[in-house]
Amino acid sequence: MTKSYKMVSIDTLLEIMAQLRDPNTGCPWDVKQSFATIAPYTIEEAYEVADAIAQNDMEELKNELGDLLLQVVFHAQMANEDGLFDFNDVVAAISDKMIRRHPHVFGDTSRDGLSPDDVKQTWDDIKEAEKADKGGAAQQSILDDIPLALPALTRAIKMQNRAARVGFDWPSTVEVLDKLQEEMLELSQELTSKNKDDSAVFEEFGDMLFVYANLARHLHIDAEAALRAANDKFSRRFAKIEQWLAQQGSSPEASTLDEMDALWNKAKAEDKLTQS
How far apart (Å, rounded) are the C-alpha atoms in residues 17 and 77? 7
- Asked if residue 113 belongs to a domain, the reply is no
How far apart (Å, rounded) are the C-alpha atoms in residues 237 and 270? 9
- Asked if residue 149 belongs to a domain, the reply is yes
Shared-domain flag, residues 47 and 60: yes
Q: Which of 180, 145, 143, 149 is nearest to 163 (CA)?
A: 143
Give the pLDDT of residue 113: 81
- Asked if residue 58 belongs to a domain, the reply is yes
Shared-domain flag, residues 48 and 85: yes
Shared-domain flag, residues 236 and 186: no
- Asked if residue 128 belongs to a domain, the reply is no
Helical axes 58-81 vs 35-54, angle rounded to 10°: 160
- Asked if residue 31 belongs to a domain, the reply is yes
Which amino acid is residue 54, in one-letter code? Answer: A
Mean pLDDT of the 93-120 span: 89
- pLDDT tens figures, 251-264: 999 999 999 999 99
Is the model's pLDDT at 135 over the cut of 70?
no
Shared-domain flag, residues 197 and 232: no
Residue 162, domain CATH: 1.10.287.1080
Taking the CA of residue 269 as centre, how many other CA atoms within 13 Å lie in the half-sphere pointing to its CB?
6
Shared-domain flag, residues 216 and 244: no
Average pLDDT, the chain: 91
Query: Number of folded domains in the chain?
Result: 3
- Domain range for 183 is 140-221
Q: Which of 173, 257, 163, 256 is nearest to 218 (CA)?
A: 173
In this structure, the number of other CB atoms found within 10 A of the CB of residue 225 comes to 12
- pLDDT tens figures, 196-253: 899 999 999 999 999 999 999 999 999 988 998 899 999 999 999 999 999 999 999 9
- Asked if residue 135 belongs to a domain, the reply is no
Contact 215, 223 (CB under 8 A): no
Query: Looking at 166-236, which runs of residues are DSSP E strands?
Result: none
What is the model's pTM? Answer: 0.67
